[in-house]
């Protein structure tokens, strides 16, 4: 899924429940406009295996209990292009089935239609609220695209903006003006217009960060080639936006390797389903049984920011990248981080569904950010530089993902170019997935808290 902006609650009692669909038939993707990554969804095989990342729940609980945590960050789910909403009945059932603390949406902004719940909105609300329990959650529907969104944020004022925003939307960096042709930067049209659009929005996002607001964005669901080249006809990779912006935190996706999966769980859902409680993480890919492929690559507009320059330099000097000319070696590399993105249980229209997507991982990581903001006692702003500093001080703050690649798209694995997972940062899962206790301790050390 790739569609919304959400705020993240706490991690305290989250039961990350993920369902593993059978390999056949392939799940049908959500109908999507060009701007949505979209998620894959199936309901036929929900009982075959479900997953609850208990390793994350347990490590966060231990930290919370030993540090007397009190969470207070404001988080927001953001939908674009007037995308439909979620149903309260589904949210109530999800909370009951996963045995997480009750949470609600404190504020709704923009169009809202709860009578036609959609998977993207439903996933975002259910998991953003589950992971960052105790924080305040908003739901914002933007009628326009990234330029209008940035303008609205800057005009909303302190009381009208959240601390953390999760966006599960995106499209090819060089085709942004297909989505927002009337935006002033797109006056020139074509690729040049899209470049001007991206440059302007990057500038606006920088202002958003300076105002203390954290922007998290899904890295995309169709690998290094994206949805504009689903059959990999062009060896040149296609960066996605806004994930390729240096002023957002881009979140990729992982899955558990089949041989390593641990099962268990005590929630009502896990008592009637086989729930995954953890395992060894690999890059999320259709090649390894997932329904999406973690997006990643390098911007053709923004240069490599200083906060990631040493990690990117090390990566492109290795064997994990395509041939020169098939990607921009001087561009901003993404994703920055990752989280589980395969087989999440959601409750939709009264039924249990299994979904895949960086639309799963982005709101989950936004929940982690909500906890870090609470630990800090204030806003994080543009958080990527801080996370790279934490990594440089103690790389065990992230679980390094070293297996897999993002050559495939959702439609094809006949691709000869893409990016490989390696030791350290890479353009499939970034720095890795969060090791929360060490991440929190690392932040305290770096910021002298």
What amino acid positions are annotated as catalytic residues?
120, 124, 359
Check the annotation: does 175 bind a ligand.
Answer: no
* Helix or strand holding residue 54 (H, E): helix 54-67
Check the annotation: does 221 bind a ligand.
Answer: no
Write phi, then psi, for 38 (nearest 5 degrees).
Answer: 75, 155
With H, G, I as helix, E, B as strand and everything else as coil, classify residue 1.
Answer: coil
Pairwise CA distance, residues 392 & 173, whole Å: 29
Give Cα separations from 382 to 190, 207, 211, 218, 401 (angstroms): 30, 10, 9, 15, 24
Pairwise CA distance, residues 33 & 83, whole Å: 10
Measured in whole angstroms, how far is the alpha carbon of residue 424 from the centre of its chain?
19
Check the annotation: does 321 bind a ligand.
Answer: no
Residue 336 near residue 308 (C-beta atoms within 8 A): yes
Handedness of CA 418, 420, 421, 422 (dihedral sign): negative
Check the annotation: does 424 bind a ligand.
Answer: yes
Residue of 282, 209, 275 lying closest to 17 (CA atoms): 275
The beta-strand segments (E) located in 361-436 are 398-399, 433-434
Residue 225 near residue 415 (C-beta atoms within 8 A): yes
Q: What is the CA angle 236-240-246, rounded to 5?
A: 110
Residue of 213, 331, 342 lying closest to 281 (CA atoms): 342
Helices (H), 99-210: 119-131, 146-156, 176-179, 190-210
Pairwise CA distance, residues 20 & 362, whole Å: 19
Residue 108 near residue 138 (C-beta atoms within 8 A): yes
Pairwise CA distance, residues 109 & 12, whole Å: 27
Annotated binding site for Ca(2+): 400-401, 424, 426
Annotated binding site: 400-401, 424, 426
């Amino acid at each position: 899924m790739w569609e919304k902006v959400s705020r993240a609650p706490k991690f305290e009692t989250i039961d990350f429940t993920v369902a593993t669909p059978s390999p056949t038939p392939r799940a049908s993707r959500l109908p999507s406009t060009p701007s949505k990554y979209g998620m894959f969804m199936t309901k036929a095989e929900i009982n075959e295996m479900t997953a609850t990342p208990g390793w994350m729940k347990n490590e966060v609980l231990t930290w919370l209990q030993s540090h007397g945590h009190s969470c207070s960050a404001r988080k927001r789910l953001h939908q674009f292009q007037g995308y439909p909403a979620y149903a309260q009945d589904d949210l109530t059932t999800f909370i009951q089935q996963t045995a997480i603390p009750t949470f609600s949406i404190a504020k709704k902004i923009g169009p809202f239609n709860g009578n036609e719940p959609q998977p993207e909105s439903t996933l975002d609300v259910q998991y953003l609220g589950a992971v960052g329990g105790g924080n305040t959650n908003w739901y914002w529907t933007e009628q326009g695209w990234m330029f209008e969104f940035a303008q609205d944020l800057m005009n909303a004022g302190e009381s009208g903006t959240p601390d953390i925003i999760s966006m599960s939307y995106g499209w090819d960096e060089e085709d942004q003006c297909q989505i927002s042709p009337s935006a002033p930067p797109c006056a020139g049209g074509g690729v040049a217009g899209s470049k001007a659009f991206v440059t302007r929005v990057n500038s606006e996002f920088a202002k958003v960060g300076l105002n203390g607001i954290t922007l998290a964005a899904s890295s995309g669901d169709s690998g290094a080639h994206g949805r504009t080249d689903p059959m990999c006809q062009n060896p040149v990779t296609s960066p996605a936006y806004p994930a390729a912006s240096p002023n957002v935190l881009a979140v990729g996706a992982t899955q558990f390797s089949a041989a390593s999966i641990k099962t268990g769980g005590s929630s009502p859902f896990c008592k009637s389903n086989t729930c995954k409680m953890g395992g060894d993480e690999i890059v999320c890919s259709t090649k390894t049984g997932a329904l999406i492929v973690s997006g990643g690559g390098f911007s053709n507009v923004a240069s490599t920011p200083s906060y990631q320059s040493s990690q990117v330099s090390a990566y492109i000097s290795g064997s994990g990248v395509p041939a020169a000319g098939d990607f921009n070696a001087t561009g901003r590399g993404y994703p920055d981080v990752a989280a589980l993105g395969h087989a999440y249980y959601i409750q939709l229209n009264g039924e249990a569904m299994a979904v895949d997507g960086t639309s799963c991982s982005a709101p989950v990581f936004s929940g982690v950010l909500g906890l870090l903001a609470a630990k800090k006692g204030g806003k994080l702003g543009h958080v990527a530089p801080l996370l790279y500093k934490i990594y440089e001080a103690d790389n065990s703050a992230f679980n390094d993902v070293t297996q897999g690649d993002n050559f495939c798209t959702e439609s094809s694995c006949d691709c000869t170019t893409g990016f490989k997972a390696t030791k350290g940062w890479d353009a499939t899962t970034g720095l890795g997935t969060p090791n929360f206790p060490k991440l929190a301790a690392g932040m305290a050390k770096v910021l002298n808290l």
